[in-house]
């Protein structure tokens, strides 16, 4: 009899521990989210580029000897009724110098719309070397019915960009975010 | 041997409160590990045919290029549901059923440690799968974005979406409860003298699998919860517009997903390690190394997940790390294959149906391991990823791998469970048709993948036609041969030649000391372990 009770106690203790482990792993799944974000922010691995302007614009040595191709890509998220395209699809730039280009967007829906562009840079490791001081992606963009806009980006490439990178692609995806109240 | 008669007598003495209840309530309310094992196995068999029917829809559509049998949206629902049903409804419950039947009998325990929880963990399953299959009839149809549930595609699922997530939660809860029960049984209920290193290998592989389940099923539950809140509660875990990242889903999913594939194969390793020594009439070669190999596979399975996402744009260091870590898994896996072959080496082998399935497992699983190694080469994977080569790889490890091991187990232990011998002729016929069918079905898919045919697409370019036709013929051959299995199992349950207690000449282990079929309650007093 005594051993049977001892067994019941042992089983209960085992269940408690294993449930605790289950809960911990459930939490770990969620903890992976900030861990992953921090990792990507530190390393710039996933091409997430700042949705904010660089804090301080210090002058950089302009490297005239090096030319990098910057390509521009525009994507629409599903259900975003816009026309959206870069004015030019590629530019030759020297690291350290500022350049400006434009993206064109037009509301095709028969109601006012608010959108937000999310930037991404490929290759991922170039993301931390791509600086924007002015970008339509910093703010939400509001469009009246049929309204079209020409939206500027001002950027430069950090001369520290790894030497094997010769082409950098800046891609924007335009999301519709009306529900957010714009 | 003395323990067998002892427990049998014991069972008879107390028949008034120990026998099974009658009628339907026996099955609904049962807490008996043998009943629950039977329920799991029958449920799994049913799901095997449901999932198989879906696979035949897929193969029928792919018989010829162009769209003829179903529309693309329904095709996508079939690929998605086929995988979910086979993984969570057929393979995993089959192994849990085997665990329920066998672990208490193998370690000399009277039942599972937590019989009532055992009842719940089974009975959640029929509800989860009714829910999952009912999504086919909902507006917008069932899930169609693939079993991997990648956002943003999966978020376009119609009304079915929250029900799919709920079904996944229910399956997860069931698996976790099953795993807790198995660990508690193995760690607390072993008969005196049954030390860990004396446990049969099937028990060992299940102990490790159960820990894998507890470690990763909650992560799956977490990530599908994030999908749910992204869709309905405005969070942005995976939504780039709100600062999230869809690639993060892939990382979290595969943190679950890769250990999950080992959850489906480690118990199979256990089954094969029981069967081969019996029919080779030699003890398992390298028992201890088998245990350590299983444990190292389980450990490594946590650090290789990104080999499923080589093409998302990882930095070189990441590609290299995941490539080498993945290749490392081939080492303990090779140890296992080596041990099985060495066990057979110079054994007095006979080739009854369970042994035929076991030998086919060793050979065909190894082919799947090799194609896995090819996929693990990061630069090559850019070519193979999301093609039929991947489909061929994982079907080789899962069908002639996991599924063959389950069939081997069914033939091997069915005489013990039912007290009747199955029809050996029919078993062999089933084996040969299956082994031919499975190769005709999946081998050409390697070539299709290498030539660039993408997976999960209902139409294809003309030059892929011949191999697809061959593959479809193999699929129907394999699928319909399973009816022989069904018939054989039913006939064996209903009657047949009386099985002896030991059943197989070379069988060793506590379960073979019990009568066939074993009494409803076994080992109510612990057996002595020599
Ligand atoms: C030597 C061992 C193995 C290696 C090196 C290996 C490697 C790989 C790799 C690299 C992929 C990703 C291919 C791609 O998507 O491009 C893959 C996919 C897969 N493997 Fe394996 N694998 C091994 C064993 C297994 C086993 C034992 C199982 C299951 C029993 C399994 C099941 C799967 C599944 C289901 C997928 C595809 C998942 C999906 O995308 O739907 N593999 N494997
Ligand atoms: Cu994997």
Is the peptide bond preceding residue B152 cis, with omega within 30 degrees of 0? yes
Clarify whether residues A29 and A56 are in a common domain. Answer: no
CA distances from B505 to B352, B500, B512 (A): 11, 10, 10
B197–chain A nearest CA distance, Å: 21
What CA–CA distance (Å, rounded) separates B228 from B67?
33
Residue that wins the pLDDT comparison between B15 and A40: A40
Instruction: Render pLDDT for A57-66 as a digit per residue (tens, 0 to 9).
Output: 677 788 888 8
What CA–CA distance (Å, rounded) separates B233 from B444?
45
- The reply to whether residue A18 touches residue B214, judged by beta carbons under 8 angstroms, is yes
User: Residue B11: is its pLDDT beyond 80?
Assistant: no
Mean pLDDT in residue range A129-156: 85
B430–chain A nearest CA distance, Å: 41
- The reply to whether residue B255 touches residue A51, judged by beta carbons under 8 angstroms, is no
User: Residue A181: is its pLDDT beyond 70?
Assistant: no
SS3 A115: strand
A2-16, B362-376, B392-406: least confidently modelled range: A2-16
Tokens of B287: 């028992």
Helix B388-397 to helix B424-450 angle (10° resolution) is: 150
Tokens of B149: 């549930």
The whole-number pLDDT of residue B1 equals: 36
CATH number for position A163? 2.60.370.10
Clarify whether residues A7 and A55 are in a common domain. Answer: no
What residues in A contact B215, CB-CB < 8 Å? Answer: 21, 25
Instruction: Render pLDDT for B44-67 as a digit per residue (tens, 0 to 9).
Output: 999 999 999 999 999 999 999 999
What CA–CA distance (Å, rounded) separates B35 from B46?
17
Average pLDDT, rounded, for chain B: 93
Mean pLDDT in residue range B88-93: 97
Candidate from B188, B234, B315 with C-beta closest to A11: B188
Query: Looking at the domain assignment, is residue A155 inside a domain?
Result: yes
Clarify whether residues A28 and A114 are in a common domain. Answer: no
- The range of the structural domain enclosing residue A155 comes to 49-177
Query: Looking at the domain assignment, is residue A53 inside a domain?
Result: yes
C-beta separation of B528 from B7 below 8 A: no
Instruction: Give the number of the ligand closest to the Cα of residue B259.
Output: 2
CA distances from A153 to A158, B347, B441 (A): 16, 75, 54
Clarify whether residues A100 and A161 are in a common domain. Answer: yes
Mean pLDDT in residue range B326-342: 95
Interchain contact B173–A (C-beta under 8 A): no
What CA–CA distance (Å, rounded) separates A30 from B195?
38
The whole-number pLDDT of residue B3 equals: 40
Total domains present in chain A: 2
Interchain contact B407–A (C-beta under 8 A): no
- Active-site annotation holds for B273: yes
- Active-site annotation holds for B258: yes
Mean pLDDT in residue range B427-443: 97
- The reply to whether residue A47 touches residue B313, judged by beta carbons under 8 angstroms, is yes
C-beta separation of B55 from B117 below 8 A: no
What ipTM describes this predicted complex? 0.87
**Which atom, in ligand 1's list, is nearest to the CA of B146?**
41
Clarify whether residues A63 and A134 are in a common domain. Answer: yes
The whole-number pLDDT of residue B12 equals: 41
Query: Looking at the domain assignment, is residue A152 inside a domain?
Result: yes
What residues in B contact A30, CB-CB < 8 Å? Answer: 222, 226
Mean pLDDT in residue range B135-156: 93
Query: Looking at the domain assignment, is residue A132 inside a domain?
Result: yes
Mean pLDDT in residue range A9-18: 93
Contact pairs from chain A to chain B, CB under 8 Å: 99
Clarify whether residues A130 and A57 are in a common domain. Answer: yes
- Residue-wise over A77-98: b if at least 16 C-beta within 10 A, else e? beebebebebeeeebebbbbeb
Instruction: Render pLDDT for B206-249 as a digit per residue (tens, 0 to 9).
Output: 999 999 999 999 999 999 999 999 999 988 899 877 778 888 99
Query: Looking at the domain assignment, is residue A82 inside a domain?
Result: yes
Clarify whether residues A57 and A126 are in a common domain. Answer: yes
Query: Looking at the domain assignment, is residue A59 inside a domain?
Result: yes
Clarify whether residues A57 and A146 are in a common domain. Answer: yes
Whether B374 is in the pocket of ligand 1, judged by its Cβ within 6 Å, is no
For ligand 1, atom 43, name the residue with the nearest CA: B372
What CA–CA distance (Å, rounded) separates B277 from B275?
6
Clarify whether residues A10 and A93 are in a common domain. Answer: no
What CA–CA distance (Å, rounded) separates B474 from A170?
47
Instruction: Render pLDDT for B495-518 as a digit per residue (tens, 0 to 9).
Output: 989 999 999 999 999 999 999 999
Query: Residue A144: which pLDDT band, with cuts at 50, 70 and 90?
Result: confident
Any idea what DSSP says for residue A174?
Answer: E
What CA–CA distance (Å, rounded) separates B411 from B422?
7
Phi, psi (rounded to 5 degrees) for B525: -110, 140
Residues in chain A, overall count? 182
B446–chain A nearest CA distance, Å: 31
- The reply to whether residue A26 touches residue B222, judged by beta carbons under 8 angstroms, is yes
A108-122, B103-117, B131-145: least confidently modelled range: A108-122
- Active-site annotation holds for B33: no
Query: Looking at the domain assignment, is residue A182 inside a domain?
Result: no
Query: Looking at the domain assignment, is residue A16 inside a domain?
Result: yes
Residue that wins the pLDDT comparison between B23 and B350: B350
The whole-number pLDDT of residue A48 equals: 65
What residues in A contact B176, CB-CB < 8 Å? Answer: 22
SS3 B524: coil
Clarify whether residues A34 and A53 are in a common domain. Answer: no
The whole-number pLDDT of residue A46 equals: 62
| Residue B69: CB atoms within 10 Å | 15
Clarify whether residues A18 and A96 are in a common domain. Answer: no
Tokens of B174: 């069931």
C-beta separation of B129 from B167 below 8 A: yes
* pTM confidence score: 0.89
Mean pLDDT in residue range B115-123: 95
C-beta separation of B235 from B226 below 8 A: yes
User: Residue A155: is its pLDDT beyond 60?
Assistant: yes
Clarify whether residues A36 and A101 are in a common domain. Answer: no
What CA–CA distance (Å, rounded) separates B115 from B103?
13
What CA–CA distance (Å, rounded) separates B95 from B406?
7
């Amino acid at each position: 009899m005594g051993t049977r009770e001892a067994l019941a106690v042992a089983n209960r203790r085992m269940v408690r521990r294993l449930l605790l482990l289950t809960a911990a792993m459930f939490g770990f799944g969620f903890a992976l989210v900030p861990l992953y974000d921090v990792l990507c922010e530190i390393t710039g691995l996933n091409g997430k580029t700042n949705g904010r302007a660089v804090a301080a614009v210090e002058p950089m040595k302009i490297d005239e000897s090096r030319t990098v191709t910057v390509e521009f890509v525009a994507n629409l998220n599903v259900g975003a009724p816009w026309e959206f395209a870069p004015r030019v699809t590629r530019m030759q730039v020297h690291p350290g110098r500022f350049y400006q280009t434009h993206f064109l967007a037009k509301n095709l829906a028969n109601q006012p719309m608010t959108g937000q562009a999310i930037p991404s840079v490929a290759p991922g490791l170039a993301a931390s070397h791509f600086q924007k001081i002015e970008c339509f992606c910093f703010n939400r963009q509001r469009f009246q019915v049929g309204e079209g806009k020409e939206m500027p980006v001002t950027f430069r490439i950090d001369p520290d960009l790894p030497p094997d990178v010769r082409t950098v692609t800046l891609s924007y995806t335009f999301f519709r975010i009306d529900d957010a109240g714009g | 041997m003395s323990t067998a008669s002892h427990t049998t007598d014991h069972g008879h003495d107390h028949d008034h409160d120990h026998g099974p209840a009658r009628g339907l309530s026996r099955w609904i309310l049962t807490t008996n590990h043998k009943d629950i094992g039977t329920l799991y196995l029958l449920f799994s068999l049913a799901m095997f045919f449901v999932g198989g029917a879906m696979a035949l829809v897929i193969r029928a559509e792919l018989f010829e290029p162009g769209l003829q049998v179903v529309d693309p949206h329904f095709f996508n629902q079939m690929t998605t549901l086929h995988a979910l049903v086979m993984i969570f409804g057929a393979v995993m419950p089959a192994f849990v059923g085997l665990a329920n039947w066998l672990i208490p009998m193998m370690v000399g325990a009277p039942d599972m440690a937590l019989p009532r929880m055992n009842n719940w963990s089974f009975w959640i399953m029929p509800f989860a799968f009714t829910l999952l299959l009912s999504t086919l009839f909902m507006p917008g149809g069932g899930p169609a974005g693939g079993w991997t549930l990648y956002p943003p595609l999966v978020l376009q699922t119609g009304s079915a979406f929250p029900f799919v997530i709920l079904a996944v939660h229910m399956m997860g809860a069931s698996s976790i409860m099953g795993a807790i029960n198995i660990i508690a049984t193995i760690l607390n209920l072993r008969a005196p003298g049954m030390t860990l290193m004396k446990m049969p290998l099937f028990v060992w592989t299940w102990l490790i699998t159960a820990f894998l389940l507890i470690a990763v099923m909650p992560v799956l539950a977490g990530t599908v919860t994030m999908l749910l809140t992204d869709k309905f509660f405005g969070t942005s875990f995976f939504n780039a517009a709100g600062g999230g990242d869809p690639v993060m889903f892939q990382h979290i999913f595969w943190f679950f997903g890769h250990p999950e594939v080992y959850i489906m194969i480690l118990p199979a390793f256990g089954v094969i390690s029981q069967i081969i020594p019996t029919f080779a009439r030699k003890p398992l070669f390298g028992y201890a190394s088998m245990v350590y190999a299983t444990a190292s596979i389980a450990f490594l399975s946590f650090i290789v997940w990104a080999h499923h996402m080589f093409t998302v744009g990882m930095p070189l260091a990441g590609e290299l790390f995941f490539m080498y870590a993945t290749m490392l898994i081939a080492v303990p896996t090779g140890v296992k294959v080596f041990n099985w072959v060495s066990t057979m080496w110079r054994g007095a082998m006979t080739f009854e149906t369970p042994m035929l399935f076991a030998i086919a497992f060793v050979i065909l699983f190894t082919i799947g391991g090799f194609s896995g190694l090819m996929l693990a080469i990061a630069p090559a994977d850019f070519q193979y990823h999301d093609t039929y080569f991947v489909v061929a790889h994982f079907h080789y490890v899962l069908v002639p791998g996991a599924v063959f091991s389950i069939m081997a187990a069914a033939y091997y232990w069915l005489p013990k469970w039912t007290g009747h011998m199955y029809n050996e002729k029919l078993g062999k016929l089933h084996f040969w048709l299956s082994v031919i069918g499975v190769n005709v079905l999946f081998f050409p898919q390697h070539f299709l993948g290498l030539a660039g045919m993408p997976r999960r697409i209902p139409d294809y370019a003309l030059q892929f036609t011949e191999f697809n036709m061959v593959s479809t013929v193999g699929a129907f051959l394999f699928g319909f041969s399973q009816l022989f299995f069904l018939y054989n199992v039913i006939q064996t349950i209903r009657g047949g030649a009386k099985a002896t207690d030991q059943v197989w000449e070379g069988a060793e282990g506590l379960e073979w000391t019990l009568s066939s079929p074993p009494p409803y309650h076994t080992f109510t007093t612990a057996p002595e372990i020599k």
